[in-house]
Chain A
Amino acid sequence: MNAPEPQVIRMYEARQEIYPREAKGRYASLRWLCVWLTQLAFYGLPWLTWNGRQAVLFDLTTRKFYLFGLVLWPQDFIYLAALLIICAWLLFLVTAVAGRVWCGFACPQTVYTEIFLWIERKIEGPRSARMALAKQGPSLRKFSKRTAKHLAWGLVALWTGFTFVGYFTPIKVLGAESFTLAFGPWEWFWVLFYALATYGNAGWLREQVCKYMCPYARFQSSMFDRDTLIVTYDAKRGEPRGKVAKDTGLSVNGGSCIDCTMCVQVCPTGIDIRNGLQYECIGCAACVDACNSVMDKVEQPRGLIRYSTDRALATGMSAQDIRRRAMRPRVLIYTAGLLLVVIAVASSLVLRTPLKMDVIRDRGSMGREVDGGAIENVYRLQIMNTTEQPHRYRIVAAGLPGLVLATTDEVTLAGTETRAVPIRLRAPHGAGQAGSNKITVQLTALDDPALTVKETAVFIVPR
């Protein structure tokens, strides 16, 4: 027997360009709605004004995050963690119920790819024209079309980078700077970096991001089960596929699928949904739109490719049964978890006092005896007025009989000011036992009693 001829195996291969055909239909419209809503929010928010400042601004230099009336300080970073937890639960819940709808409709990668594809279609034409153009040798027409496309992409990308930085540097200042290109080095870096990321991801990488780079694509399957809604091809109805027979609208082989490959041509990740659920499928339902319009043309009922579940496909459940199965333990647990975190965060945000204080005892002296045997302790109050208005506060100390402030008991802080205020507390001779005594220091705004914080501290009586 001859030894078999060796063959070279490559572990890396060049990308195969995908030219998705434009899909029109219910889900395509829904996706465009998502594109409009998310981009109106993203491009629009930084231009809004609130309290005479930018309504949404993440000011990294002064470490304050402004969200309309809410001002978050570094001490509030727990809310960022809470926000991430909420997002995670939401993703679990949505994925368990409806699969990768996030991917197909709202993910920035999808949204920007949709915008970039639209530009591509406007300049280079539909799928067939784009494929022909790609095959063509160099020509002036090809060069000018390509240049126009990349210029348009570049403009959208730059505007996106500019908007992104506008969340961190006041966007109107940034806008004024952009006329003279007087950005600071970091502004330059981030505008260009974010623009490049948009251009590269939506213009060049596209489905490669979903297939190879996106972590969510890798772990979302752990939230799937047999009752999760997925985009599926109804093989029972479709097979055996074949060319369309003129009279029936069915294929010559008797199945509903007439093998027109429309569903493959529209797929942005370049897969054939008729091979079953694949990890590359981002659930965008473009194939559903495509197949439905084909079914309309051949006068067959829609839904050869449709949203359904693994179980429904195997058992032939009705739509109503599918809906009923949505309320399964996994979904209920995700919902409960989500509600719990949302309620906890909401109530803590509502109950939050926009005033913070630390009481720091002077370490240098234990307790000092003054005239008449009274004892004094020195403290430093680290006070943060986290509102945007100035306030006058009264300091009250309590916890020992006769405990009073020996220094001024009122202090004024400007809006968003942080200040260290040294105070002396005095207790009469004989108050409290030798050693440390628990006391409290309370700070209350004179104009708004709701602005109150109370901190415990230690008062030391020397032996």
Chain B
Amino acid sequence: MSDFTNNFWNLYIVVLTVLGVLGCAVLLYSQSKYKVAKHNGPVGTTGHVWDEDLTELNTPMPRWWMWMFYLTIVFGIAYLFLYPGLGSYAGKLGWNSAKEYKAELAKADSEYGPLFEKYRQQDLKAVAADPQAHAIGERLFLTYCAQCHGSDARGNKGFPNLTDKDWLHGGAPETIKQTIMNGRHGVMPAMGAALGSDKDIENVAHYVLSLSGSAASDPIKSVFGKSKFSACMACHGAGGVGNQAMGAPNLSDKTWLYGGSAETIMETIRKGRDNTMPAFGDFLGESKVHVLSAYVWSLSNETK
């Protein structure tokens, strides 16, 4: 970029452009008429002679055509005056593509804004029951959310399923809206060092499995793990039921964000997990998020 902050190249382009335009005008003027030796005979020639006697007939172009050439030159000058094109000169109209993009956005907002605004005034559950809002919400979801949560909203490893009743931060419509507006940051600290040996980690993992009544849980290991689980209780609670206020998952159900095998749980305990749901409030604006939240809520709730 430093090439372009230096004024030399700017001048270079300006000079080239101006010379080019002037050159066209000079060429046009100099070529529109010229003097040749006088001929006799019925048809005029241009006076060009090749191979001794080969001459070029002059069949003149219409004059309006010449004026069109001059007009294009005038047009070019006017264009360079009004629009950017002459080096770094911004043009009298101050046009640029960023402004045009913003204008387009503003136009779209003014067109669809009232519709979104209407829904924003309504209760989220009422919006969820509105078929048109549902269709809009679905489109918004497919555009902005499906990359992580899947087109069917059932999530992926590490990305929550939005169609069940299991919520990390709570499934009330207002909570969902909070989540989309501000994003969430879910951190499970690495507990490996705190718990002790590999054996201890395995025992805790089996205890955790036993909380959800999994058949894969080894009863002996689980008993040993129970005492160590006290390190986890601060977040996940005594019975491992989780805490939505801090986004700690419920460990006593069969829903697992990363997988419910002993190995996966051990890995989670050992290394921790770090999850981010980005904030969409600034990007989409509240009224769109409102419709989107209603749609997401409706995925796990009867609205009819």
Contact = CB atoms under 8 A, between A and B. Distances in A.
A12 B146 contact: no
A9 B63 contact: no
Given A8-B35, A15-B64, A378-B154, A364 B147 contact: yes
B304 interface: no
B98 interface: no
Contacts of B66: 11-12
A12 B32 contact: yes
Interface string A335-376: 000000000000000000000000000111100100000001
B261 to A, nearest CB: 11
Contact of B33 (A11, A15, A380): A11
B154 A15 contact: no
Contact of A380 (B32, B35, B146): B146
Contacts of A407: 152
B152 A420 contact: no
B47 A9 contact: yes
B142 A4 contact: no
B37 A12 contact: no
Contact of B61 (A3, A6, A11): A11
B46 to A, nearest CB: 6
A7 interface: yes
A10 interface: yes
A128 interface: no
B213 interface: no
Interface string A199-242: 00000000010001000000000000000000000000000000
Nearest to A360: B151
Contacts of A4: 37-38
Contact of A7 (B35, B139, B142): B35
A423 interface: yes
- Report which residue of A4, A12, A208 has the largest number of chain B beta carbons within 10 angstroms of its beta carbon: A12
B34 interface: yes
Interface in A402-445: 407, 420, 422-424
Given A364-B148, A422-B151, A13 B37 contact: no
Contact of B63 (A5, A12, A422): A12
A379 interface: yes
A379 B34 CA distance: 73
A5 B156 CA distance: 93
A7 B147 CA distance: 78
A208 B150 contact: no
Interface string B259-291: 000000000000000000000000000000000
A9 B36 contact: yes
Contacts of B44: 9
B94 interface: no
B80 to A, nearest CB: 23
Contacts of A420: 138-139, 142, 151
A378 B155 CA distance: 10
B96 interface: no
B37 A7 contact: yes
Contact of B37 (A6, A14, A422): A6
A208 B142 CA distance: 57
A363 to B, nearest CB: 8
Contact of B146 (A14, A208, A362): A362
B39 interface: yes
Nearest to A10: B33
A212 B37 contact: no
B35 to A, nearest CB: 4
A365 B150 contact: yes
Contact of A12 (B36, B65, B139, B154): B65
A363 B152 CA distance: 12
Interface in B38-94: 38-39, 44, 46-47, 58, 60-66
Given A7-B35, A9-B35, A12-B65, A424 B142 contact: no
B31 interface: yes
Contacts of A365: 150, 156-157
B34 A9 contact: yes
A13 B64 CA distance: 8
Nearest to B161: A368
Contact of B152 (A9, A13, A422): A422
B34 A13 contact: no
A9 B46 contact: yes
Contacts of B36: 6-7, 9
A316 B241 CA distance: 108
Q: Which of B64, B157, B159 has the most CB of A within 10 A?
A: B64
A83 to B, nearest CB: 31
B147 to A, nearest CB: 6
Interface string B202-234: 000000000000000000000000000000000
A8 B34 contact: yes
Interface string A277-289: 0000000000000
B66 to A, nearest CB: 4
Contacts of A13: 60-63
Contacts of A12: 32-33, 60-63, 65-66
Given A9-B35, A362-B146, 8 more contacts: A3-B37, A7-B38, A11-B32, A11-B61, A12-B32, A364-B147, A376-B154, A424-B152
Interface of A: 3-15, 208, 212, 362-365, 368, 376, 378-380, 407, 420, 422-424
Name the 8 nearest CB pairs between A and B, nearest first. Answer: A422-B151, A13-B60, A12-B66, A6-B35, A7-B38, A4-B37, A365-B156, A12-B63
19 contacts: A4-B38, A7-B39, A8-B33, A9-B46, A11-B32, A11-B33, A11-B46, A12-B61, A12-B62, A12-B65, A13-B60, A15-B62, A212-B65, A364-B156, A368-B154, A380-B142, A420-B139, A422-B151, A422-B152
